[in-house]
Amino acid sequence: MAGLVVENTKKILYENISLLQEKYYEKSAPGGAKWLERLQAAAGPHKSGNDPHIAGRALDIILFANIPRDLNIADQLVEVFLNLRESMQWIAVIYNNWEWNGAGKKFPRTGSASNRHVTHIHIEWGMANLNHTGFEAQLSEAAFSVSDWGKPGSIEGLQFAQSATN
């Protein structure tokens, strides 16, 4: 069972970001290809030992770095998490070849695609913050401003169709 901090984060993201309400198709899922949720707190069958998912203190947000819409949303979410670092009290955020520690320091992730987290954002809390609360209103407000079409107030990320007569 996931901790309260994970469950609250998951619920807020699901309610505010429409793409996270959609499932994605995983061709290499154990037992064969299937549709899976984009917000995953439970440990997968490949996890063991003291993995943070087993302990209920991590959330994976499936957003693929090679799909522009996913990458755009993921980049905005990472920015939200970094801006709310102190109130959310996470100890690590990992996405697309980068990791940020609890102090906000950024450093590269290397190794396999799984270790580099190019298919999902991983956000993790320490055991002491398993049931941390008090950040929910700030996260709701920030998540509500995450846009499928780029940063709010800009045209970044928009693509316009060109007329066939041009």
Greater pLDDT, 114 or 74 = 74
Q: With residue 120 as reference, give the H or E element that holds it.
A: strand 120-124
Specify the pTM.
0.85
pLDDT of residue 9: 98
Q: Is residue 2 classed as helix, strand or coil in its secondary structure?
A: coil
Percent of the chain having pLDDT more than 70? Answer: 86
Q: How many CA atoms lie within 13 A of 165 on its CB side?
A: 0
Residue of 39, 67, 35, 68 lying closest to 53 (CA atoms):
39
- Read off the pLDDT of residues 57-75 as tens digits, 9 standing for 90 and up: 999 999 999 999 999 999 9
pLDDT of residue 113: 77
**Residue owning tokens 């549709």:** 35
pLDDT of residue 154: 40
List residues bridging with 39 in a β-sheet: 61
User: What sign has the CA pseudo-torsion 36, 115, 64, 39?
Assistant: positive
How far is residue 124's CA from residue 117's CA, in Å, rounded to a whole number? 13
The model's confidence at residue 149, banded by pLDDT at 50, 70 and 90, is: low
Strand 58-62 and strand 92-95: the pairing is: unpaired
pLDDT of residue 31: 86
pLDDT of residue 57: 95
